[in-house]
Amino acid sequence: MYNARLIVSEHGMNIFLIGSMGAGKTTIGRQLAKRLKRDFYDSDHELVERCGVDIPTIFEFEGESGFRDRESQVIDQLSKLDNIVLATGGGAVLRPENRKMLAARGTVIYLRVSLKNQHMRTSADRNRPLLQGGDLKTKLRKLRDERDPLYTALSDFILDTDDRSPNQVAQSIQRKLDHAT
């Protein structure tokens, strides 16, 4: 799917990466920022840095709602910067205000990953509170069913990350951006 909506706003041409946990948003985002000579930010990393504690601790003390409040604040602040690449957390699209900010302030790219690869990439990660306890495959499928329509509706284009290196995906994004301008 490719929708040639390229957003150039008062914030320049920001690139926002959305998608499931384990899709490669952070790794690909770093590669893309390097290629485009832009600053890279990861909303989860920024949130952890600002709070001084890891995401599981935020969930433990404030619950998912408290985490989402903090996440929205970070996305609001970061998406106002100029000419950046921003990797968002997998659940950032759950809040309508986040979707509105991202759509208005940049080009949104959905990095899609298969459930099989997502399972492989996240199975050993203990830093993802929504995946702890219970059957991981069932949890991943439930999150995908809930979030995929939001990712798809918000995205300007979609790229699959399965069986491709982060550099190959970043290169594909750069080509699509060049083609759209």
Which pLDDT belongs to residue 127? Answer: 58
In contact, 174 and 32? CB cutoff 8 Å: yes
Q: Which two tokens stand for residue 150?
A: 């939001």
Q: Provide the residue type at 54 as one letter.
A: D
The model carries a pTM of 0.88
Which pLDDT belongs to residue 116? Answer: 83
- Edge-to-edge strands of the sheet including 157-160? 39-42, 84-87, 15-18, 107-112, 157-160
Count other Cβ atoms within 10 Å, centred on residue 12.
14
Among 156, 154, 111, which residue's Cα sits nearest to residue 7? 156
Which pLDDT belongs to residue 23? Answer: 87
In contact, 139 and 45? CB cutoff 8 Å: no
Contacts of 165 (CB under 8 A, 6+ apart): none
Contacts of 162 (CB under 8 A, 6+ apart): 113, 114, 117
Report CA dihedral (97, 138, 56, 147) to the nearest 10 degrees. -10
pLDDT tens for 56-94 read 888 889 988 999 999 999 999 999 999 999 999 999 999
Which portions of the chain are predicted below pLDDT 70?
Answer: 1-12, 118, 121-134, 136, 181
Count other Cβ atoms within 10 Å, centred on residue 144.
18
Which residue ranges form the domains of the chain, and what is each CATH number? 15-180 (3.40.50.300)
Which pLDDT belongs to residue 140? Answer: 80
Which pLDDT belongs to residue 123? Answer: 61
* Alpha carbon distance 117, 122 (integer Å): 9
Which pLDDT belongs to residue 74? Answer: 97
